[in-house]
Structure formats: C-alpha cells, structure tokens
C-alpha cells in the first residue's frame, strides 16, 4: 500500500504534511491547580459557618414548579495596554464569544432567582488569577447566571485558549463565575475565514464546557442523585474510577446518564464507564473524552481538522453535573465514531480482532476520512492510543471551499480536471473520474458536491462540469459516470449512508458566515443576521433581537429566520404564530399542536402514547428497534418481547401456559377469549389454530377449505387467490379453483382471462404467451415471464436485460461482466480476447511471457521505460490496479 501512496504523491504533488493537533490546554497557560486547591481549602473552612445571607439565596428555597429560563451568560473582556487588537479582530473575537454563549443559552436552562449574580467568596480577590472588581463581591452582576472574565495572553505555543470555573455557588449549586484566557498571538496570526471561525467557535465552546462542569476540579461539586448533595472529595470515587483496560491505566466516568448513554451508543452492556483521555499533559489527561473511542467529539483532547461535534455525550455529562435544571438534547449534533461497534471496539479499539472503519491498519494509508469531509493519510496522534486515523490537511478538506477563493486562491487546474468541487456541501468519494483520460486512474479520491434525501436512503452527487446528477441508491454501489457520448470513470457510493448523511447535520452552509452556530444542518443566526448561511443583515429587528420576518401563508419562520414549508428536526409548525417552534426537551421530533406531542424520542427514552418515557411500565416492553413502548401479549404484565411472557396477570385470571398467558375463564382450547364469552376464542392454546371466521380453535387438519394452519401465527390463514388447497404457506398451492378459470402453474394458481401463465398483460390477445408485463415476483425476459433471469441476462427495474455480447454473465449493468465465454479473459469487470501463445495477461494487457517471475517483468519494464514519461505513467497505472 505504501507504493500506492507514493504514486499519488508524485502525480498530484499534494503535500502530505503531518497534521498538527492543537492542544486545548497546557500547564503553563493557566494555573488552575493551585487556584482550585486554595478555593477548596477556603470552602472547607466555610462549611462550618452558617451564613444566613447564603442560605436565603439557596437552591433549596427555589420552588419545585418554578419556571426555568435560558442560562444568561454575561462577560467582560479585558485587554492590557501592550496588547494590540485591531477593530476587525475585536469584532471577530466578540462574534466568537457571542455565538458560543448563545449556543449555551439555548442548551441550558435554570430556575429563576431574583438576585444579582454575586461572587460570595470575599476571601478570594481573583478568578483563576484574574483580579475581580470589588463591585462583583458586593452588588454583583444584573441579569446574569454565569459571568465570565475574558482576557488575553501573548504566547507562541499552539494553544488557542484555556478556561475554568472560578466559583461554584454552594447554594445555587452550579458554577456562576469563570475565566477564559485567549492566546492573542494565535488570533493575530490566523486568516479569519469562515472555516477558521467554525473551528475557533468550537474551541470557545470546548473551553466554556470546561467551565460548565466538564472538569475533574468541579466533579466534587456535581450533585449525587442518590443524596441530592454534592459528591465532595469523599465520594467522587463513585463516578470517577481508575481501571486497567488493555494494560493501560485509565480513568473512567460512570455517572448515571453517561453510563446509560454509552451502553446504548456502543452497544455494549458491560461497559463500566466512559473512558477519559489517558494521554497528554495533566491538563489534557482525564479532562476530555478518550480520542480513540470518540475521535471527532468537541471534548476530545485536541482540535480536529474537520471540527468537533457537540454530541449526546456532552448532554449526558451536563445532566450528570446536576448543575443545570434543563439540558436540551435537541441542541446536540449526531456523531458516528464507534456507534454500535460493541464491546471490543470500546476495549481494544484498533487492536481488536475485528476491523473497524474508524481506523486504518497502519500509518501512511490514503483514504477518505471517517466523516467523509476530506481525505488524507492515516497517522497516530498523541491521543489516539497508537491507532492510525485519517487526518485531512487543510488542502485535503472538501468542505474547505475558501482555499480556492480570493485572497487565498491557489492553483486548482489539476483539481478541475478531476472534477473536484470544494464546498460545505462537498464530501470525499472514492472515484476515478476525470475530464481528460490521461490522469484518470491515478488519484482515487474526489471531493464532490452531494446531498442526502430526508430519509437518508439516497445520496445525490452533483457534477457541475457535466451538469449531471448521479444517484447512489445502495451503499457501496459503483456508479459509471457517462454523459451519453463519453465515459469519465467511476464513483463508489458511501459505505454507510447514515454515517455519510450525518455529516451534513454538522456542517452548515458557509459555516454560518461567522454569524451563527450550526445545529442539525441549520444555522442559528446571531442577533441582527438571517439567511440559510446567516450572511444577510436584518432590515428590522423584533423586540427579542431577531430579524422581523413575514412569511407567505403556507410557510413558517425557521430558526435561521428564513421562510420554508417545513421545520427542521426538533421543531414543529405552529400554525398560529407561523413559526417553527421547539419541541419539548423530552422529544426529538414532534408535530404539534402542543410541543409535547412527540413522534420520536432521544437515545435513552421510548415513545408511549405520544410522550417520551424512560420506563415503559407494566404490560409493555422497550422495543429497541422502533424506540417505542410496545404492548406485551394479552394477559402479560412483564415481558421483553411480544413472543414470550415472563409474568402473567394473575389478578385477572391469567396463568402461564408455556411462554404464553392462558385465561382460565375461557374454554380449554382457547388461550384467550372475548370477555364473558368463554367459547369465543381470540387466540388458541398450544397445538390449536384460530379460525377467525368462527372464533374457534381447530387442530392442524381442520382449518376451513382454502385455509392452512400457520404454525408461527397459530392461526388458520387464507391461501392465495384462486387456490383451494395450500400447505404450510399461502402460495404453496396444490389445487386451484377451476370454476373461476384458475389453473395450477408450478405451485401457483393463474387466472386464464386474456393472457396465460405469469403474464399480467400480453402483447397480442390471440397469442396469450407473449407477455408484456408480468405478475408479482416474475420478471420480463424478452416476451416471457420468468422467476429468475437466465444466464446472460441481468435484472434491471423488474426486467431481465441482455448482457453485453462479450460477457457470459453480468450484474447491474450490461457492461459489468461477472464471467466471460471460454475464449475471453475477465479483467476489471470486462471481457477481453485471450492472449496469443507466448503472451500472458497482465491487468488489461497482453505482454510477452517473462523468463523470470512476474515481479521481474514489471521491474525490467520500469527500467527500460525510464526515459519515456508516458510509458512510465502507464506502468504506474498497472501497479496501481494490481495493488487495488
Ligand atoms: Zn479541554
């Protein structure tokens, strides 16, 4: 495989620079350790004091039913005199902060208290080293639930920012003050593209989440759901444990929601906790999700070229802190890394016996990245537990559309020829397409503009150069790119549509143009902006700061303040306000008229009568496929599926009868019966079959004429139309109703009306065997209806079509040969004439039979062709094909 990589490198000159991960935290940047030790010692002293002022403000005095409101984050920015910040940079940074905080404002809700946000720890004069205004200790800050001090440091490291909480209010029991330190040198040197903003926004969101509770320093303060009190140092071991996994000592987080979530997500019931990062400095280690099992999560230890996803893992963690009254799961974006991969993935990652798409076998392999947002070379990174992962460089990122735009434009003639397209809608495909044949087969990856349909069952690839759309209907399908006159090569469809399509939920149009954040593919624009990419300024604002929009009568105002006939996932159409309104936090989909009319639920809950519940209750079981609470069989109070009952409803006269529940009131042949009519059966005891027409139970030989006894359903089931006697299945017919012109053909009955046999319609009424269309399960081959296409034909839209005359058999397409006639040779799904005597077949060409081995032939040819560039290219092609 290394050879393949080499060839691609030589031909394309795409730099294979190693991707430098940008570490989020570092010991030298912000000294948190000493600060937290100091705070903890003060807090211990204070625990003995009873301070009336404190208690009055306490959470325990907040009424249970009190309304929640979104978290109000306020902040102050401080710049030192020698720090140079241009107006543009200041706008950029403020937009970053505003966008990140407005995300958290729509994610977190707290109960209202009627007091200013005050720093009640006068013994401290600073917030993680930042000197606090005395006013904040006394009068506090108005309209604030969390106040952040933002300042800058000039540092040549690759750190973007560092942050932490500096005060967890002991009575409100949540962080109320925090600090973010930004690396000014970093912000001064970046190109402020939309992609850069998207990445920096994620860095700020990452840092803010450390303040909101994702930090070992705050875990002592998390609320233990068993006691409703903070865990404290003494009990934090209940959720933060040390484990040996695969010979590495690791920390695992096992708080309640995290534990439930990861077991469902990875599909492994035995997981004891979520792995925290086990590599890196003290400020990275244990403070992030383990990269190898959750690579592209926002809270992994370093930034990711494709961006990080704010996923359900952070939702579960924020719930487990106990700090926040509501955490809105509808604000999470989808993640696929390791999903449903089982216990082995979690425990052994790339060292497992199974091969996972998340990892490559070794470093240096060229491939599309797991999300499909780019392509690149596999490499192990400092946090990936020695697992090789594909990291696209900026130039290999399909979503990096700005790299070919002014003022960052670089030459892209080569990419044009290969029909590359860079946009937030572009993804990586394995493909050989090119406008000009000469370069065709060498580079095997393309960035192509693509779309998923709403159900995620179809991927459309739009090739602007040809002005043709190509549609992937099956995962892994090969598409031939042709325009009627010419063939341009092949595109391989994505291996997993759900994974591929989920990426479009994480990347919004133009990354929301530095004016908003992206949730489930929709931009949420900052105050003053609107449009599907938040690029337009409002003409007029509402009282709440959002753009005043009026939509046509059949349309609704979307979160990006555009008008559309539909609302995004997590919203419903409010026909009164003509606005897409948020579903209740409990539902992932809803349809109104109330926001609690759920259609679908989040990962840990199940749908029952249009509400989402975590427990289904008596008489129901959790159907994990449909995510619904499904009823047990009649008379059953406890079951885990709809076949077997674990406990029958004894109170209502049901007793266990093998795996079912028998109603003791009914006649003995009945299992269950119509209430108060013991002889009218609704289901039957073992060895009996329900005759629905008579509501009686029959033994296997006594179903009425035209019915058979179905063992699975335990019912008499009617035979197919026209059949008088069938056995074991409705279509296994033994005699037909001749009075209605039915005739047995094989083991099916066909009606002789105009056409004969499995013809549904025929070409010519006088000649009823020449078919025009066929009955169900039969395919038209020539003028005949057949159950299976003959050799030399392939199935296409219910018809058997002839293979290309060169193929003996083919599949999906007439040119896609599966086998060839005796005098032909199969290569690359094509049939070629066999070589003459003295020659052998080598990947599409007849070459002279070598004296030595095959490898030697190639090598000699390389040497002799040294001076001929064209021949060299052809040979590279041969090697490439051989390697594939
Ligand atoms: Zn971090």
- Position 26 scores a pLDDT of 40
Which residue(s) pair with 375 in the sheet? 368
Alpha carbons 610 and 95: distance in angstroms, whole number:
39
Q: Nearest-CA neighbor of 624 among 176, 265, 374?
A: 265
Are 459 and 472 spatial neighbours (Cβ–Cβ below 8 Å)? yes
CB-count exposure of residue 824 (10 Å: 0-12, 13-18, 19+):
middle
DSSP state of 340: T
Is it the case that residue 860 has pLDDT exceeding 70? Answer: no
Q: How far is the CA of 577 from the centre of ligand 1 (A)?
A: 41
Averaged pLDDT, 541-559:
87
Are 578 and 570 spatial neighbours (Cβ–Cβ below 8 Å)? no
Q: What is the pLDDT of residues 685-743, one digit of tens each?
A: 888 999 988 899 988 888 888 899 988 888 999 998 888 888 888 888 888 888 877 77
Q: What is the pLDDT of residues 228-244, one digit of tens each?
A: 888 988 999 999 999 88
- Position 163 scores a pLDDT of 92
3 state DSSP class of 73 = strand
Q: How far is the CA of 424 from the centre of ligand 1 (A)?
A: 26
Tell me how far CA of residue 859 lies from CA of 6, 102, 324, 871, 879, in angstroms: 16, 62, 68, 13, 10
Q: How far is the CA of 74 from the centre of ligand 1 (A)?
A: 21
Alpha carbons 669 and 500: distance in angstroms, whole number:
54
Measure the CA angle with vertex 81, ends 75 and 84; round to 5°. 85
Q: How far is the CA of 164 from the centre of ligand 1 (A)?
A: 10
Q: What is the pLDDT of residues 451-495, one digit of tens each?
A: 999 889 999 999 988 889 999 999 999 999 988 888 888 999 999
Q: How far is the CA of 282 from the centre of ligand 1 (A)?
A: 11
Averaged pLDDT, 559-565:
90
Size of the chain in residues: 884
Q: How far is the CA of 486 from the centre of ligand 1 (A)?
A: 52
Helices (H) and strands (E) in the chain, counts: 16, 63
Is it the case that residue 645 has pLDDT exceeding 70? Answer: yes
Q: What is the pLDDT of residues 394-429, one digit of tens each?
A: 888 999 998 876 544 445 666 778 888 999 999 999
Alpha carbons 805 and 648: distance in angstroms, whole number:
65
Q: What is the pLDDT of residues 110-155, one digit of tens each?
A: 988 888 999 988 888 889 989 998 899 999 999 999 999 999 999 8
Q: How far is the CA of 289 from the centre of ligand 1 (A)?
A: 9
Averaged pLDDT, 584-605:
91
Phi, psi of 814, deg, nearest 5? -65, -25
- With a CB cutoff of 8 Å and minimum separation 6, the contacts of 186 are 155, 158, 159, 160
Q: How far is the CA of 561 from the centre of ligand 1 (A)?
A: 33
Q: How far is the CA of 547 from the centre of ligand 1 (A)?
A: 34
Is it the case that residue 58 has pLDDT exceeding 50? Answer: no
Q: pLDDT-based confidence at 435, cuts 50/70/90?
A: confident
Alpha carbons 265 and 338: distance in angstroms, whole number:
8
Is it the case that residue 866 has pLDDT exceeding 70? Answer: no
Phi, psi of 575, deg, nearest 5? -75, -20
DSSP state of 345: H
Q: pLDDT-based confidence at 109, cuts 50/70/90?
A: very high
Q: How far is the CA of 242 from the centre of ligand 1 (A)?
A: 20
Q: How far is the CA of 398 from the centre of ligand 1 (A)?
A: 27
Q: What is the pLDDT of residues 296-313, one digit of tens each?
A: 999 988 888 888 999 999
To the nearest whole percent, how much of the chain has pLDDT over 90?
46
Are 131 and 125 spatial neighbours (Cβ–Cβ below 8 Å)? yes
Q: How far is the CA of 880 from the centre of ligand 1 (A)?
A: 42
Element (H, E) at 106: helix 87-107
- Position 668 scores a pLDDT of 85
Tell me the range of 66-70, 213-217, 509-513, 736-740 where mean pLDDT is highest: 509-513
Phi-psi region of 281 (alpha: psi -120 to 50; beta: other; left: phi over 0): beta
Q: What is the pLDDT of residues 253-276, one digit of tens each?
A: 999 999 999 999 999 999 999 999
Q: How far is the CA of 151 from the centre of ligand 1 (A)?
A: 17
Q: What is the mean pLDDT of the chain?
A: 84
Averaged pLDDT, 564-584:
92
């Amino acid at each position: 495989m290394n050879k393949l990589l080499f060839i691609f490198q030589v031909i394309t000159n795409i730099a294979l620079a190693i991707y430098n991960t940008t570490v989020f935290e570092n010991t030298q940047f912000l000294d948190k350790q000493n600060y937290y030790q100091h705070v903890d010692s003060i807090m211990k002293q204070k625990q003995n004091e009873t301070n009336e002022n404190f208690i009055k403000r306490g959470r325990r005095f907040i009424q249970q039913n009190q309304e929640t409101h979104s978290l109000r984050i306020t902040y102050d920015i401080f710049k030192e005199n020698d720090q140079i910040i241009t107006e543009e940079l200041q706008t950029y940074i403020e937009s970053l902060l505003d966008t990140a905080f407005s995300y958290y404002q729509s994610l977190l809700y707290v109960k209202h208290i009627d007091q200013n946000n005050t720093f009640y720890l006068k013994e401290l004069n600073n917030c993680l080293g930042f000197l606090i205004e005395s006013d904040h200790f006394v009068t506090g800050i108005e309209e604030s639930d969390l106040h952040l001090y933002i300042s800058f440091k000039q540092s040549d490291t690759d750190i973007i920012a560092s942050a932490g909480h500096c005060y967890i209010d002991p009575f409100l029991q949540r962080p109320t003050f925090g600090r973010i330190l930004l690396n000014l040198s970093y912000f001064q040197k970046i190109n402020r593209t939309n992609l850069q903003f998207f990445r920096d926004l994620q860095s700020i969101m990452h840092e803010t989440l450390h303040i909101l509770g994702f930090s070992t320093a705050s875990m002592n303060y998390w609320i233990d759901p068993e006691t409703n009190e903070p865990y404290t140092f003494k009990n934090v071991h209940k959720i933060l444990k040390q484990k040996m996994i695969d010979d590495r000592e690791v920390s695992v987080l096992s708080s309640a929601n995290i534990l439930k979530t990861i077991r469902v997500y990875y599909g492994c019931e035995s997981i004891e906790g979520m792995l925290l990062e086990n590599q890196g400095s003290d400020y990275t280690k244990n403070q992030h999700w383990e990269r190898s099992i959750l690579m592209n999560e926002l809270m992994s230890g370093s930034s990711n070229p494709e961006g990080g996803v704010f996923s359900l893992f952070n939702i579960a963690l924020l719930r487990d802190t106990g700090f926040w009254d509501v955490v809105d799961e509808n604000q999470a974006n989808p993640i696929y890394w390791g999903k449903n991969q089982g216990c082995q993935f979690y425990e052994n990652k790339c060292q497992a016996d199974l091969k996972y798409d998340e990892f490559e076998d070794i470093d240096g392999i060229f491939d599309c990245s797991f999300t499909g947002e780019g392509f690149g070379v596999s490499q192990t990174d400092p946090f990936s537990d020695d697992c090789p992962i594909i990291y696209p460089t900026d130039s290999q990122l399909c979503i990096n559309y700005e790299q070919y735009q002014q003022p960052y434009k670089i030459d892209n003639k080569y990419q044009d020829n290969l029909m590359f397209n860079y946009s937030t809608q572009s993804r990586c495909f394995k493909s050989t397409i090119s406008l000009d044949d000469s370069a065709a087969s060498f580079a095997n990856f393309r960035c192509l503009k693509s779309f998923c349909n709403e159900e995620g069952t179809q991927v459309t690839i739009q090739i602007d150069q040809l002005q043709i759309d190509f549609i992937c209907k099956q995962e892994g399908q090969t598409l031939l790119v042709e325009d009627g006159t010419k063939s341009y090569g092949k595109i391989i469809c994505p291996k997993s549509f759900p994974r591929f399509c989920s990426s479009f939920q994480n990347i919004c149009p133009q990354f929301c143009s530095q004016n908003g954040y992206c949730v489930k593919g929709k931009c949420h624009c900052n105050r003053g902006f609107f449009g599907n990419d938040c690029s337009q300024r409002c003409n007029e604002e509402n009282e709440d700061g959002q753009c005043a929009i009026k939509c046509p009568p059949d349309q609704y105002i979307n979160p990006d303040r555009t008008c559309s006939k539909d609302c995004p996932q997590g919203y419903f159409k409010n026909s009164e306000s003509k606005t897409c309104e948020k579903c209740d936090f409990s539902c992932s989909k809803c349809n109104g008229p109330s926001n609690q009319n759920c259609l679908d639920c989040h990962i840990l809950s199940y749908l029952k009568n249009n509400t989402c519940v975590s427990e289904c209750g008596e008489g129901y079981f959790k159907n994990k496929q449909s995510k619904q609470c499904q009823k047990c069989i009649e008379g059953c109070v406890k079951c885990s599926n709809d076949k077997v009952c674990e406990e029958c409803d004894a109170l209502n006269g049901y007793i266990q009868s093998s795996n079912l529940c028998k109603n003791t009131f009914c006649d003995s042949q009945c299992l269950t019966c119509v209430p108060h009519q013991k002889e009218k059966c609704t289901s039957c005891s073992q060895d009996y079959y329900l005759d629905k027409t008579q509501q009686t139970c029959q033994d296997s030989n006594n179903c009425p004429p035209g019915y058979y006894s179905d063992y699975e359903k335990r019912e008499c089931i009617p035979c197919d139309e026209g059949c008088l006697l069938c056995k074991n299945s409705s279509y296994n017919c033994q005699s037909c109703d001749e009075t209605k012109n039915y005739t047995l053909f094989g083991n099916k009955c066909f009606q002789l009306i105009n056409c004969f046999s499995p013809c549904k319609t025929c070409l010519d009424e006088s000649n009823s065997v020449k078919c025009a269309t066929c009955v169900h399960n039969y395919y038209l081959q020539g003028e005949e209806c057949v159950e299976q296409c003959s050799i030399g034909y392939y199935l296409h839209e219910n018809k058997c079509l002839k293979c290309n005359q060169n193929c003996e058999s083919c599949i999906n397409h007439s040119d896609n040969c599966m086998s060839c006639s005796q005098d032909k040779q199969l290569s690359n799904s094509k049939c070629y004439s066999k070589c003459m005597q003295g020659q052998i077949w080598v990947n599409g060409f007849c070459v002279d039979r070598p004296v030595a081995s095959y490898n030697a032939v190639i090598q000699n040819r390389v040497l002799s062709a040294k001076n001929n560039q064209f021949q060299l290219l052809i040979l590279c092609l041969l090697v490439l094909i051989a390697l594939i």
